[in-house]
Amino acid sequence: MYAEVGDRLVTEGFKAGHGDRIGRVLEVRNNDGTPPYLVRWDGDRHESLAYPGPDTFVMRGDNIEV
C-alpha cells in the first residue's frame, strides 16, 4: 500500500451496523509512501498512526470532494 499526504484511508466496516472508517493522511512516515501514516479520522477528528490491514484502501486526494 502506498499513500501521500492528502489521500484518504478507508477501512471497510466488518460488522453489521458499523460503517466504513475514513480519515485523511496528514503525514507519511516512510519516504517510499508505505505505512505507517498519521491520519485524522473523520467524525471524531481523532489523530492516530495507522498501519492499514487488508480491509483498508487508499483514495487519492485529487479524486475526493472536500
| C-alpha torsion sign, points 34, 25, 7, 11 | positive
Can you give the residue range of the structural domain that contains 41?
A: 8-63
- Residue 62 confidence (pLDDT) above 80: no
Angle 56-60-27 (CA atoms, 0-180°, nearest 5)? 75
Q: How many CB atoms lie within 10 A of CB 39?
A: 24
* Domain annotation covers residue 26: yes
Entry pTM: 0.82
- For the residues 52-63, what does the mean pLDDT come to? 85
Q: Whats the size of the chain, residue-wise? A: 66
- Would residue 54 count as lying in a domain? yes
The count of structural domains within the chain is: 1
Asked if the structure places residue 29 within a domain, the reply is yes
pLDDT digits (tens, 9 = 90+) for 9-39: 998 876 666 678 899 999 999 999 999 999 9
Residue 1 lies in a domain: no
Cβ atoms of 56 and 9 within 8 Å: the answer is: yes
Q: Which amino acid is at 26?
A: L
Kindly state whether residue 13 falls inside one of the protein's structural domains: yes
